[in-house]
Chain A
């Protein structure tokens, strides 16, 4: 794992990367440790409703007097969990499909590319409403939707890399030794496709976080009793006349999370894959 720490060190040595790392770390601590040490996010205390930030409630309270710091950290954890899950699933599925298409060529390749094009032809929001109509709203639909939307991006990148790799001597040497095709894909294609895929995945994390927030804000994403950053912003928005704290707190965390992840993703790209331009 020394490569992992070396990468971290190189990211930290750049100003943008350092900021990204710091923001991301702060968000991670907030999301992972906050729920463990903070007060109960669902404890209602009507007397203390709409409290401004104070020692007992670091970010104030909402319309039911629930602690906003606790609620936001749980919401952040939920949003991050969804985002990581989506990016991991779609990058693995996308890479495998892309590699197979790149190796197979011919009609398999044309079919896969056509499906990718069709999926990406729909604006994500339209696709979201279609899937919500089919499967109902909720986190599962959201995960399915965003995974489907992101698969083509990973797939295209993996396909292009696989097409290059296919003609390299070391892949041909594996084929000449009649090594099993699954072994060739897993052991010789995947690791050589992984670099740019990891970069793309990290650059997509903030996109997913923001997309989830916007869908949840519209009421189509995460459903109660779960709360995510988007639902927190929405809940705060409803009572913004009584108190602007809930909205600002959640929006601030959303901003730091997406900004941090974006800067980190950019820095990671410069370190891992300096040749690419980052264009999708």
Chain B
């Protein structure tokens, strides 16, 4: 089976800083894949490159086997394969549009009658425990946690086969973090989505990811199956990262 995402030798500089310094990795379809690393290690930059929001200086990215190309036609096609959940989901909802309008836009892109969109949306909202009434609100009228789930709902409405979530649990209560991760995991399994989770929090990787890579200064320094990667890390850096995160004893949702 082709890989969901294959990156080879991705390089990108911002002036003096090498945000990506030759990253290569492959993410198999249908799995949950983790990208960890300290702040500034290039995680978000890598995600933006994969989404086509950021052009690489060098290297190649393939999504479901297709090389990433820029331009509107390619973007339209890619949108149905891969959807992001941004680091600050409240900021990813257009402030002067009702949620309903934002959801209808997805239907329009898919050339789907609004009724059909809303039928699917109702199921997704229920799944995310969002009250049906949220769609008549403006983004500033809902809570941060709701905004995050609305952003997820909107991404799911696009029926992507790959979902990339940048720090999906940042700013959430520890109790709610687990719920959200379980939810993402559920959705991934039931819809056979490839889930890429970006975080500097190793504990959540242990909870949901099957495979992960560790990034440092724009490089992948270590990678593999999560159990062995974090069980017996080879790199000092990974050990340091691990030490920074006391393991959370929660129900293991993997499997």
Contacts from A to B (Cβ < 8 Å): 168-181, 183, 187-188, 191-192
Contacts and interface: CB of A to CB of B under 8 A. Distances in A.
A187 B97 contact: yes
Given A187-B97, A192-B95, A192-B96, A176 B105 contact: no
Interface stretch (B60-68, B81-89, B208-216, B242-250): B81-89
Nearest to B83: A176
B124 interface: no
Contacts of A175: 53, 75
A176 B94 contact: no
A176 B53 contact: yes
Contacts of B158: 177
B154 interface: yes
B92 A170 contact: yes
Interface of B: 51, 53, 72, 75-76, 78-80, 83-84, 86-89, 91-97, 101, 105-106, 108-109, 151, 154, 158
A177 B79 contact: yes
Contacts, number: 63
Contacts of B108: 179-180, 183
A187 B86 CA distance: 20
A178 B92 CA distance: 14
30 contacts: A169-B86, A169-B88, A169-B89, A169-B91, A169-B92, A170-B92, A170-B93, A170-B94, A170-B95, A171-B94, A173-B84, A173-B86, A173-B92, A173-B93, A173-B151, A174-B94, A174-B105, A176-B51, A176-B79, A177-B79, A177-B83, A177-B158, A178-B79, A178-B109, A179-B105, A179-B108, A180-B109, A181-B72, A187-B94, A187-B101
A196 to B, nearest CB: 14
Contacts of B151: 173
Contact of A178 (B75, B86, B89): B75
Is the contact region of chain B dominated by helix, strand, or loop, or is it mixed? helix
Given A179-B108, A180-B108, 16 more contacts: A168-B91, A169-B88, A170-B91, A171-B94, A172-B92, A173-B93, A173-B94, A177-B105, A177-B109, A178-B72, A178-B79, A179-B105, A181-B72, A183-B105, A187-B94, A188-B97
Contacts of B97: 187-188
B116 to A, nearest CB: 17
Listed residue (A169, A175, A181, A183) with the most chain B CB atoms within 10 angstroms of its CB: A169
Contact of A176 (B84, B91, B93): B84
Top-3 shortest CB links A-B: A178-B79, A169-B92, A191-B96
A187 B96 CA distance: 8
A180 B76 CA distance: 9
